[in-house]
């Protein structure tokens, strides 16, 4: 089962873009969204630091600018990187939030979706602890489904995509190991919410 926080009595589900069921770990890496922005895209990512290693806290350290760049040889390749995501779901299904959803997290980089560039401006980023192309845990899907259901109620979400779909050729996450049909079924959403390439892959299989 996913490890979610118990709600505070009489507390609202959302407060200034912060979700009550997430552990709060604020990141300094964020900014304001452009005035009048409609938040209508969810972006699913996969991340692990060092790649393929889980549970050490390095992702949280990266998002909060506390990572020791000398702790592992791989970190030299990302040294000085300032990034963040709105949410992070660990291999145990634990949910943490780093940036309020009303603000702009730095998760997508150079990106484009349906003719619109700068996806960070109008999207919410969700990182799953995992390797690009690898499998994910059942509890992660459970936490992801619960979170996305809450986001769909709060924001005018019209599209859900992977990092690979908004930055093709540059990013490959969450990759082949992410079960898009299972995720879509858990939310009960129509095909129009998801990238066409996801549907094509389902038809082929």
In the chain, the number of structural domains is: 1
**72 CB-side CA count, 13 A:** 12
pLDDT at 73: 97
Convert 36-46 to b/e letters by CB count within 10 Å (16 or more is b). eeebbbbbbbb
Q: Give me the pLDDT at residue 2, please.
A: 45
- Give the tens place of pLDDT for each residue, 8-67: 556 799 999 999 999 999 999 999 999 999 999 999 999 999 999 999 999 999 999 999
* 4 lies in some domain: no
How far is Cα 153 from Cα 11, in angstroms, rounded to an integer? Answer: 17
Residue 11 has a pLDDT of 72
93 within some domain: yes
- Catalytic residue, chosen from 58, 127, 137, 164, is 127
Catalytic (active site) residue 127: yes
Q: What is the pLDDT of residues 131-177, one digit of tens each?
A: 988 999 999 999 999 999 999 999 999 999 999 999 999 999 999 99
Asked whether residue 8 is domain-assigned, the answer is: no
- Let me know: does 127 contact 143? Beta carbons within 8 Å: no
Q: Residue 155 maps to which CATH number?
A: 3.40.80.10
Does residue 115 lie within any of the structural domains?
yes
pLDDT in tens, 114-144: 999 999 999 999 999 999 889 999 999 999 9
Q: Is residue 138 part of a domain?
A: yes
Q: Name the percent of the chain lying above pLDDT 70.
A: 92
Question: 55 lies in a domain?
Answer: yes
Given this model, what pLDDT does residue 27 score? 98
Looking at the domain assignment, is residue 56 inside a domain?
Answer: yes
Query: Structure pTM?
Result: 0.93
Question: Could you list the residue range(s) of the whole structural domain that residue 183 is in?
Answer: 14-200
Q: Is residue 45 part of a domain?
A: yes
């Amino acid at each position: 089962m996913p490890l979610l926080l118990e709600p505070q009595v009489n507390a609202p589900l959302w407060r200034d873009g912060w979700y009550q069921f997430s552990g709060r770990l604020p990141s300094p890496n964020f900014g304001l969204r452009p005035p009048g922005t409609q938040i209508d895209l969810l972006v699913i990512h996969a991340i692990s630091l060092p790649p393929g290693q889980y549970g050490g806290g390095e992702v949280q350290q990266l998002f909060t600018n506390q990572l020791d760049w000398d702790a592992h040889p791989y970190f030299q390749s990302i040294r000085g990187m300032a990034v963040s995501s709105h949410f992070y779901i660990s291999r145990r299904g634990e949910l943490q939030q780093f940036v309020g959803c009303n603000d702009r997290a730095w998760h997508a980089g150079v990106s484009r979706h349906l003719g619109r560039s700068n996806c960070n401006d109008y999207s919410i980023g969700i990182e799953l602890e995992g390797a690009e192309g690898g499998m994910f845990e059942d509890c992660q899907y459970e936490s992801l489904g619960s979170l996305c259901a809450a986001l769909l109620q709060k924001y005018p979400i019209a599209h859900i995509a992977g990092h690979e779909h908004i930055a093709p050729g540059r990013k490959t996450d969450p990759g082949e190991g992410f079960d898009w049909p299972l995720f879509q079924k858990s939310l009960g959403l129509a095909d129009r919410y998801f990238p066409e390439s996801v549907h094509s892959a389902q038809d082929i299989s």
